[in-house]
Structure 1
């Protein structure tokens, strides 16, 4: 049974959210975290057949922002320590 184009697009968006959230834990969490959150919300709103993957992307996006906050707190408000 073929899926509708909107559902297939939502499924791809859910997977992209998960992948970007996972990558955001390691690199560019300032950019990839909010992007993962937005894509997960879009996928859930569009009715993806992979809601678990979209929720994981949402959770990982939030974790990206938590890692960013912890990094900035540990560095006294900076991302890089000079000197």
Structure 2
């Protein structure tokens, strides 16, 4: 966290913008991963969400959605692999 001094003399705490960007990226990658490349996008979404939450993002809900969607990506992959009885799957 970064400390800034406003004009009135108080000290304010601001969050790094990169943590908020990671939360949004996690959500988007998790959402796209439900349709394509879920074996890659799911773990990336999970990792980005974890780092964003660890850094104290202001978009906590978006990071949690990204985390859930990343897990869902992997669950969809496992279910599709079980149904097709193969290591890969297609629509």
Q: Please state which band the TM-score falls in when normalised by the shorter chain.
A: 0.7 to 0.9
Find out whether 1:38 has 2:43 as its counterpart: no
Structure of greater relative contact order (alpha carbons < 8 Å, 6+ residues apart): 1
Task: Please identify which structure carries the higher helix content.
Answer: 1
TM-score by length of 1: 0.87
2:26 corresponding residue in structure 1: 17
Residue 62 of structure 1 aligns with which residue? 71
| Structure 2 spans left out of the alignment, 5+ residues | 1-5, 7-12
The answer to whether the 8 Å contact 1:17/1:35 transfers is yes
Once the two structures are superposed, residues 13-41 of structure 1 have per-residue CA deviations (whole angstroms, 9 ceiling, x without a partner) of 00000000000001000000000000000
For structure 1, the residue ranges without an aligned partner over 5 or more in a row are: none
Q: Is the 8 Å Cα contact of residues 16 and 36 (structure 1) preserved in structure 2?
A: yes
Which residue of structure 1 aligns with residue 85 of structure 2? 76
Mark the structure with the bigger radius of gyration.
2
Q: In proportion to residue count, which structure has more strand?
A: 2
Alpha-carbon deviation of 1:7? Answer: 2.1
